[in-house]
């Protein structure tokens, strides 16, 4: 069975992409109903084992603001 890819670098890029649309970390946290510190950790690549719901919320926001999520590919 192949080892799954680490998710932290993917989330780091997704947060950077959302920030590039003009959203700051507080706006991302508000839109996803996550804590700001959670978004901050993702932004610096420290989200080693995030909760499934957390990843889904970021993916949903990404798809609303940018387009197809890198999590789906």
Q: What is the pLDDT of residues 1-56, one digit of tens each?
A: 677 778 999 999 999 999 999 999 999 999 999 999 999 999 999 987 899 999 99
* Predicted pLDDT of residue 1: 67
* Predicted pLDDT of residue 6: 85
d(CA 5, CA 27): 28
Please tell me the pTM assigned to this model. 0.89
- What ranges do the domains of the chain cover? 8-72
Burial 43-68 (b: 16+ CB within 10 A, else e): beeebeebeeebbebbbebbeeeeee
pLDDT reading at 67 higher than 80:
yes
């Amino acid at each position: 069975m192949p080892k799954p890819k680490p998710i932290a670098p993917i989330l780091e890029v997704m947060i950077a992409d959302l920030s590039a649309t003009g959203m700051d970390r507080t706006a991302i946290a508000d839109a996803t109903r996550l804590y700001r510190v959670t978004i901050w950790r993702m932004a610096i690549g420290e989200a080693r084992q995030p909760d499934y719901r957390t990843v889904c919320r970021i993916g949903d926001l990404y798809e609303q603001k940018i387009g197809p999520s890198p999590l789906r590919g």
